[in-house]
Structure 1
Amino acid sequence: MSLTLTPNHPAAAHLRRLFLAVITASFVFLLAWVVYLATSLPEHREVAHWDIAWVGFDCFLVAAIGMTALWAWLRRPILIPWAIITATLLCCDAWFDIVLDWNTPDLPISLLTAGVGELPLAALLFYAAWRLIRLSMAAAWARSGRGEPPRMWRVRMSIFEHSAVPRDEHTGEH
């Protein structure tokens, strides 16, 4: 038997509070961690297993691109998170390639691959995910008889609310 949580269910409210606490604490911790790293890391360091780190990262990137392509070919909505994951990994790859090649003869190649390959593909994937979410919202809104959906940032997640319809800013009504 599966448990279905309604927005009013106490467990749903508890899970939301727990999620908010964890994600907010993570944000605060990472801010402090970045300050610590910025002031304590050495500028130069010899690293063992450099090749394993990069090959491993690129294997994850290849897997993510493969999953994105698979779900795109199959026209499945799970494409959306895979597109976001892949775009994020592409941005990370471009960042680290450029930063780590900054004072080396490999910098022009890193800039070229980032500017012509990784970052444009990441932008395309982020845009595709955003458009697919908007199209899904528009279809759901139309099926429910609400017409054109509002901007994504104004729509509340229905699992956490009594109604997924945004409140009017002036009247407070749905």
Structure 2
Amino acid sequence: MLPEVPSPDDPHVRHMRRVLLAVITGSFLFLIPWIGYLYVSLPTHRTVSNWRYAWVGFDGALIVLLGITAVCAWRRLQIFIPWAVATATLLCCDAWFDIVLDWNSGDLAVSILTAAVAELPLAALLLHAARRMIRLTLTVAWARAGREGPVPPLSRMSVLVLTEDAGPERRP
């Protein structure tokens, strides 16, 4: 028995969507001037006392995410997808900050090399695997929903397309 999926026309669903859209759009619009403000107001040099804790904490979080992602992959769990995306995001952030913060130091070459041969390729692999798993899941769901024809690209697939009436007047 399939769980009941709320209708996109449900007032609660519509309200939550509007709230989500308002928060995301508002955050986007707020960050545009905020980045400009930071660019002109932040010092170009700053000595910090917790540098070591910041990096060890960040890399500790990265280890935890890599471990959870690996366990999910080994166990073939669907929850691998968000963990892979989160881990890939941290890997990209790690590469960015390593390179930017080592820009005028002797460690720049090592940071670029590490980003180029480890962090960014691993991030790309995780994102590729997550995308493939999403496509595979949608392909199976598409067939089980009785849909015919090829599954549309992810960029055009509506969130609830598989729960809607599969009539010819509906777009995929």
With the length of structure 1 as denominator, give the TM-score of the two structures: 0.89
Structure 2 match to 1:11: 12
Aligned mate of 1:158, from 157, 160, 165: 160
Mapping of residues 17-166 of structure 1, within 5 Å: 17-147=18-148, 148-158=150-160, 163=164
Letter in 1 for 2:158: R
**Unpaired stretches in structure 1, ≥5 consecutive residues:** none
CA displacement, residues 77-119 of structure 1 (integer Å, 9 cap, x when unaligned): 0000000000000000000000100111111111111111000
User: Deviation above 4 Å: which 4+ runs of structure 1?
Assistant: none
Aligned-residue sequence identity (percent) comes to: 54
CA displacement, residues 105-141 of structure 1 (integer Å, 9 cap, x when unaligned): 1111111111110000000001111111111111111
2: CA distance, partners of 1:120 / 1:113: 10
**Unpaired stretches in structure 2, ≥5 consecutive residues:** none
Question: Is the 2:81–2:134 Cα contact (8 Å) retained in structure 1?
Answer: yes
Question: Is the 1:156–1:164 Cα contact (8 Å) retained in structure 2?
Answer: no
Letter in 1 for 2:160: S
1: CA distance, partners of 2:61 / 2:128: 21
CA RMSD of aligned residues (A): 2.2
How many residue pairs match? The answer is 167
With the length of structure 2 as denominator, give the TM-score of the two structures: 0.90
Question: Is the 1:157–1:164 Cα contact (8 Å) retained in structure 2?
Answer: no
